[in-house]
Structure 1
Amino acid sequence: MSVDMTVPRSRRGSPGRAVTVRAAVLAGLLLARLSPRRLRAVLGRVAAGARATPYPQVETYYREVSAASPRCAGWQGCLPRSIAVALLCRLRGGWPQWCVGVRATPPFAAHAWVEADGRIVAEPGGSEDYRVLMTVGAGRG
């Protein structure tokens, strides 16, 4: 299943915004190399004191990250994409629910995603299709 990852030109924003999104993507790619324990600790520190980001805003960041990075747009780019989206939320003072787990339905595979307002953001399927193994929520340190 493919998902349209284009961001309408009117919502792309300034060149400075593009630089911010690309910086978040780069940080996501670098942080994705950490061990799970260390990644959770780093993201927990980043999320400390943040408020929950509403779904529409998280979805906008998801689409910006996917449009900026072909690597992050695909299924294999789920970990750096989820990290980049969370970092963009944090730049605005918020944080989504960042999750890592597995698909509970075929094809079974590891997956990372973000949630907002109790819903999975821009991923195929619903919450019943995934099992959470690790999470970092807003305001946790």
Structure 2
Amino acid sequence: MSAPLMPQPRHEAGSRMKLAASLAVAVARLISFLPPAVISMVLRLVCCGTLPAEAAEVSKWRNAVNVVSKRCAGKGCLQRSVAVMLLGGMARRTPVWCTGFQTTPFLAHAWVEVAGVPVDEPEQVSGYHRAVVVGPRRRGEPR
């Protein structure tokens, strides 16, 4: 979406997690080319019927995505955040996916959060204006 806020830390992940993350990163790459409304719709489907994720598991998923993809560990915030959502969907526990921006200087960003707190993001992301928010909801619950 924009220049990276900072290089993403990468810590070793298990082979199963790396395999799942590789699949999620590949699918997220394709999804990231779609229009924003379609990305939101896809992620709503991924989240449908899932439980809210906990920060520790989201951090683990995010790290695995960074380990398997240099793009996601760098400038690929959209692909990274979508891949984390896909990993959450596989576990049936999803965080909240957000896109947003700050105005001065203008920066756009995509991230995941738990309980209103961005996971493994710089503190400044908490102050971004949220443009799109997609999170877990129960089947039949209004959007």
The normalised TM-score by structure 1 is: 0.87
Gaps of 5+ in 2: none
The CA distance in 1 between the partners of 2:8 and 2:108, in whole Å, is 22
Query: Which position in structure 2 is the counterpart of 1:136?
Result: 134
Taking structure 1 as reference, are residues 61 and 27 closer, same or farther at Cα in structure 2, changes over 3 Å only? same
Query: Which position in structure 2 is the counterpart of 1:122?
Result: 120
The CA distance in 2 between the partners of 1:30 and 1:4, in whole Å, is 21
Alignment of structure 1 residues 61-140 onto 2, 5 Å: 61-74=61-74, 76-106=75-105, 108-139=106-137
The CA distance in 1 between the partners of 2:38 and 2:113, in whole Å, is 21
Q: State the AA in 1 paired with 2:107.
A: A
The CA distance in 1 between the partners of 2:104 and 2:120, in whole Å, is 17
Percent identity, aligned pairs only? 36
Number of residue-to-residue matches in the alignment:
135
The CA distance in 2 between the partners of 1:132 and 1:47, in whole Å, is 18
The CA distance in 2 between the partners of 1:83 and 1:36, in whole Å, is 12
1:133 Cα deviation after fit? 0.4
Gaps of 5+ in 1: none
Taking structure 1 as reference, are residues 17 and 126 closer, same or farther at Cα in structure 2, changes over 3 Å only? same
Could you tell me whether the CA contact under 8 Å between 1:105 and 1:129 is conserved in 2?
no
Query: Which position in structure 1 is the counterpart of 2:20?
Result: 20
SS of 2:39's partner is: helix
Could you tell me whether the CA contact under 8 Å between 1:102 and 1:109 is conserved in 2?
yes
1:37 correspondence with 2:32: no
Could you tell me whether the CA contact under 8 Å between 1:89 and 1:96 is conserved in 2?
yes
Q: Deviations over 1:8-59 (max 9, x none)?
A: 4xxx223x33211100011111100000111111111111001100011101
SS of 1:100's partner is: strand
The CA distance in 2 between the partners of 1:30 and 1:59, in whole Å, is 23
The normalised TM-score by structure 2 is: 0.85
